[in-house]
Each structure stands twice: as structure tokens, then as C-alpha cells.
Copies of this chain bind each other. A is one copy, B any other.
Amino acid sequence: MEQIESHACCGGTQSVWRHRSATLDCEMNFAVFTPAMAAGERLPVIWWLSGLTCTEQNFIAKAGAQRYAAEHRVILVVPDTSPRGEGVADDPAYDLGQGAGFYLNAICTPWATQYRMYDYITDELPGLVAEHFPVTERCSIMGHSMGGHGALIIALKNPGRYMAVSAFSPIVAPMQVPWGEKAFSAYLGEDRALWAEWDATALLETAAEQLPILIDQGTADSFLETQLKPEIFAKAAERLGHPLTLRLQPGYDHSYYFIASFIGDHIAHHAQALNGSSPHRRQ
């Protein structure tokens, strides 16, 4: 593992690392923010999953999250959004291939050999992080758009593992929107029964844990009505009695200006679960 960037930031360190991923069979970057820490101290981790076209850079440069992570005493880990590199399968479109891994394990050619972001995010990278950074086992997960989808499905598929989950403008029902239909067709094939394993709304049906979900969604988001459709998820959550706070933020769009405006709320929400009590576990 090689450090490729390191910047003092908000009293701590914003670093970027490169490693050879066995799961993805390519070189991968990921970013870590660690607050100022005492010798021997360990802190919980919030995982951030980014959206379509993003790398590990977008969130760390634009969200302004570091000051809140420093304040709330949490480490941020920010992976890339897909396998990368010259030898990696790709597609000219922005919403398929590199930059568009959708946080699943692909089963179709030519994607299946390397597009295994689910295993990378839930298994390989946590192991690497635990080995090299001063983290505790307590963790939570959040993301934006495609990364909001990733955060939701990963939390729902791993009951008991993440102490909080939240999303900005997530793709909540990929089986029912063009982004998801295109990606799932390519990565998973045409058998829609297999798609349900990677669809947050479908996964909610069988959720083994009542982990409260926080979603912020801008009402001026140009993808709201075609790709995001949070009402599908809200209706399922209501029917199933799953605790969901869906905040429709008037006038906000899909950009990092939206994320930067509310990231403080999300980190506070996660930190309460990570560093304080976790009420949903007592139900």
C-alpha cells in the first residue's frame, strides 16, 4: 500500500492511498481522513460511497466533511466507485463501467471478473483499513446517488454490522429506474429475480434489522423524477414499519453544494450511533 497524497486538514490528516486489490484485480485508490488523535487512540469509521463518474477525490475535496469528522471524532474512508485502469472492462457511457460499479458483484461477461465492488467495500477494503489505520470495529455507511444506493444495500444486506446508514439523493429502486435497469442488465443479466438482491427497496422487504435510515433529497434535483424516486422507498418503509427519515430539501440540486450543506447533519447522526447509544438495537 502506497500513500499518494497527504494533507494536514482540520487538525487531522487527509490522505489518499493506492493498493493492489485482489478482489478487483487492479490498482485502486482510496482516501482516509483521520482527526488529530492521541497515541494509541482508535476511532470508529464512517464509510462514504460516491456517485456515478466520481473517484475518491470528489467527496474529500468538495463536501467539507473533515471539519465535522474532526469535531465528532470519527474517521472517514472514501473508496473509488469501480475498478479502474487500462485493462479493466469499460463502456463509453458515464453510467456503465469505470466510475459506475454500482457496489454489486457482477456475474456477466465482461464485467464479472473485476466488477466486484460489493466484496471490495464489505470485505477487502475493511480488512486493509483495519490493518493500517487506528480504527475500532464500530462503523457506519453513507453515500450519494449511486453511492447512496450502495450505502443502503450494503447496510440492509449486513444486519448488525453498520451502526448507522444515510444517503444523499440515493438511487433507492434501481430495478425501477433507467440507471439501475441499464447497469443491472449489463452486470447481472436479464433475470430480474437476481436484481432484487441489489435493490434497496426490495431488500427492505426482508430486512433483519430496524436500522433507522436518514435520506436527504433536494427537490430541484434534475434526476429526482426519473432516476431517484424516493417515494418508492418511503412507501415501502411506511408499509413495513421501517424507520425512515426522508427530508425533502427545497430548492437543492444533485451537486456537492447540496452534500456540503447537510453533511454536518449526517456526520452528527452517524457519530451519535458510533460514539453514543444506538437506540435501534434496543428495539
Which positions in A face B, CB cutoff 8 Å?
7-11, 14, 61-62, 64, 66-67, 218, 220, 249-253, 255-258, 260-261, 264
Closest 8 CB pairs of A and B: A64-B64, A7-B257, A9-B257, A8-B251, A8-B252, A10-B261, A61-B62, A7-B255
Neighbour of A64 across the interface among B67, B249, B255, B258, CB < 8 A: B67
Q: A61-B61, A64-B67 are in contact. Are A260 and B218 (CB under 8 A)?
A: no
Copies assembled:
2
* Best-surrounded residue of A62, A257, A258 (most CB of chain B within 10 A): A257
**Alpha-carbon distance between A114 and B127 when the two chains are bound, in angstroms:** 56
Give A14's nearest chain B residue, CB to CB.
B257
Report the Cα distance A62→B67, complex, angstroms: 13
Do A258 and B8 touch across chains, with their CB atoms under 8 A apart?
yes
Known A-B contacts A61-B62, A64-B67; A260 and B10 likewise in contact (beta carbons under 8 Å): yes
A254: nearest chain-B partner, CB-CB? B7
